[in-house]
């Protein structure tokens, strides 16, 4: 896994933890956060390829969408 990918996943994990803490929800174990972050980053890259969007912005949008569901 490359440096950029690891940084994107770490950013996604931080967003997930922040959002759950803000909503007073239990933060899952790190392994679960890593799994979720990997899925989010994969989806963000797929969307960015299709739309030409910014991956970081897409990651933020995907995480915000999670709280709605």
Which conformational region is residue 54 in: left (phi greater than 0), alpha (psi within -120 to 50 degrees), or beta? beta
Question: Is the pTM of the predicted complex or chain greater than 0.85?
Answer: no
Angle between the 3-22 and 55-68 helix axes, to the nearest 10 degrees?
30
pLDDT of residue 68: 66
Number of domains in the chain: 1
Whether the pLDDT of residue 33 is over 70: the answer is yes
pLDDT of residue 35: 97
pLDDT of residue 69: 57
Rounded to 5°, angle at Cα 19 from 47 and 41: 25
Domain containing 20: what range? 3-68
The secondary structure element, H or E, covering residue 20 is helix 3-22
* pLDDT bucket at 30, cuts 50 / 70 / 90: very high
pLDDT of residue 41: 92
CB 33 within 8 A of CB 19: no
């Amino acid at each position: 896994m490359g440096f950029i990918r690891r940084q994107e996943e770490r950013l996604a994990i931080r967003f997930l933890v922040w959002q759950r803490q803000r909503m007073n929800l239990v933060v899952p174990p790190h392994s679960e956060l890593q799994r979720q972050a990997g899925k989010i980053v994969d989806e963000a890259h797929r969307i960015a390829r299709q739309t030409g969007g910014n991956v970081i912005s897409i990651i933020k949008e995907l995480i915000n969408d999670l709280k709605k569901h």
